[in-house]
Chain A
Amino acid sequence: MNNLSRRRFITTGLAAAAGVSGLGALAAIAHRYRLVPPDSAGIYGAGATLTYASLKLLTRHSMAREFSKSQICAKPFANYVDPPKEDYKSLEAGGFIDWRLIVDGLVDRPASFSIEDLKRFPKQSNITMLQCEEGWSYIAEWAGASLSHVLKEVGAAPNATFVVYRSIQPDWWDSIDMSDAVHPQTLLAYEMNGTDLTYGFGAPLRMRVPRQLGYKSVKYINRLTVTDDIKKFGKGLGSSGTGDGYSWFAGV
């Protein structure tokens, strides 16, 4: 090995070592500041992580765009949902009086709220866009209890990292990180455009996360679980849809 190739070998080796340890340091920082999404493994993990980390940093204090009353869409679109099951039908027949939102997990006071209970909390509303991953959209006014208020009521633990929310429809659940959970525009919505939600739009209760695509706004919510370990839920990817390839983070 002559001098030149030895020098080249050493510099290449040093550069490679610096690159690898640089990546390692980046990964450690990303984990430390919770910039790694639950679906960061797998072939699309690199893209999902880059998107989540950069948008988390950019949107630390941002608010979803809000619109004027005149921009509310006269013809919102409800999208397809499976027909209701027996348990839902009997609750609907009773005017949802017996509908309960169970809140458990890392909370001081596990609770179970009726829709009337939620309506007694301060009513928050916003006129925002619901944007479907397919490409269509509409603007509506949603009103409900802010998720951050509900989390305060039950005393969510300071070390919690995610809120998992479940639909009464089988195998339909999702989760958001704490910064989205306590975001002032994130609602447990029971009203749309001034009237109670209808079946197509998620009656009696749907999640509204306006800084993310529509699929994070799960319909027919009946349970919230506060957690510090998202890997314990389902396949550990943070939502029921992630298994089909839909990224967990839908801020896009």
Chain B
Amino acid sequence: MTETRRQRYSVLVRVTHWITLLAFVALLVSGVEIVISHPRFYWGEVGNVNTPSLFDLPIPSSRRMVETGYDFKLEDQNGWSRSLHFQSAWLLVLAGFLYVGTGIVNGHFRRNLLPSRTDLSRKSLWSSIKQHVRFAKPTEEASYNVLQRLTYLGVIFVLFPMVIWTGLAMSPAFVSAFPATVEILGGQQSARTLHFLFVIALVLFLLVHVCMIIRAGFLKRMRAMIMGGVNE
């Protein structure tokens, strides 16, 4: 049997993929630290410990002003967390612009992520869903299946843009220049709550993504995303 090596991922896709993961993990860790200082969420413009919340997270807090039901307080880690959060956000946004910009120009999205019309037929969607529900071991295919394509497009063009938008809508300086960006969302606290919910969606994606990679052969998939090629 002769092995042929086929280029699966371009250098740019691989580099921006790992930068995005690095930035996302840093954003997640620092974001959790920031939430710990006030694990209450509100809707509308304002909210504080004197006003009713939309929902509370059942976790201890790093501030004694928040009543959590726990009789201890965690260490305040907001200083470095906030600095790391915004620096990683810059890294993520710059890598994202590079990836999306080149992907549009070189046809990466059209070729690899946009589902074809036949893919979107009820029959083909249903068979793809059935395959996934049965946890069928994926075969090494030349391209992504329809559910993969739709998921990746949703992550790239819906979830990440919404996380960035809701993040910017919390910035008092940014909204002083563009007040509509927070008003459309229903207010500053709504933006904060939505930011949190969109991140939950991204974390769910990450978990499923990693599970699928393990199912499809962890080492092989890792090598493909690091070295770029697949041996066949």
Contact = CB atoms under 8 A, between A and B. Distances in A.
Contacts of B8: none
Contact of A133 (B46, B51, B78): B78
Contact of B50 (A63, A75, A80): A75
A166 interface: no
Interface string B33-66: 0110110100001111111000000000001110
Given A44-B87, A75-B48, A137 B189 contact: yes
B172 A80 contact: no
A132 B63 CA distance: 12
A49 B179 CA distance: 23
A135 B79 contact: no
A33 interface: no
A51 B177 contact: no
Contact of B176 (A50, A65, A132): A65
Interface residues of A, number: 42
Interface stretch (A103-111, A115-123, A151-159, A242-250): A242-250
Majority DSSP secondary structure for residues of A touching B = loop
Nearest to A73: B46
Given A251-B171, A252-B174, A51 B86 contact: yes
A165 B83 CA distance: 23
A81 to B, nearest CB: 11
Given A75-B50, A134-B38, A129 B188 contact: yes
B84 A211 contact: no
A75 B47 CA distance: 9
A252 B172 contact: yes
B79 A245 contact: yes
A64 B50 contact: no
Interface size class for chain B? 35 or more
A76 B188 contact: no
B47 A46 contact: no
A51 B89 CA distance: 10
B176 to A, nearest CB: 4
Contact of B82 (A58, A65, A136, A247): A247
A136 B48 contact: yes
B45 to A, nearest CB: 7
Contacts of B63: 80, 134
Contact of B188 (A48, A80, A137): A137
A172 interface: no
Nearest to A56: B173
A136 B47 contact: yes
B28 interface: no
Given A245-B79, A247-B83, A137 B174 contact: no
A98 B43 CA distance: 44
Contact of A245 (B45, B80, B170, B189): B80
Nearest to B79: A245
A138 interface: yes
A137 B47 contact: yes
A132 B188 CA distance: 12
A131 interface: yes
A14 B189 CA distance: 49
A80 to B, nearest CB: 6
Interface in B77-131: 78-84, 86-90
B172 to A, nearest CB: 5
Given A134-B37, A245-B80, A73 B174 contact: no
A47 interface: yes
Given A80-B65, A246-B79, A247-B86, A67 B45 contact: yes
Given A44-B80, A63-B176, A251-B171, 10 more contacts: A47-B86, A51-B86, A55-B174, A76-B50, A77-B48, A79-B65, A136-B38, A136-B49, A245-B81, A251-B172
Interface of B: 34-35, 37-38, 40, 45-51, 63-65, 78-84, 86-90, 170-177, 179, 182, 188-189, 192
User: Which 10 residue pairs spanning A and B have beta carbons closest together?
Assistant: A245-B79, A47-B87, A251-B173, A75-B50, A44-B83, A136-B48, A135-B38, A77-B48, A62-B176, A245-B80
Interface of A: 44, 46-48, 50-51, 55, 58-59, 62-65, 67, 71, 73, 75-77, 79-80, 129, 131-139, 210-213, 241, 244-247, 251-252
7 contacts: A55-B171, A64-B176, A75-B51, A79-B65, A134-B37, A136-B49, A139-B45
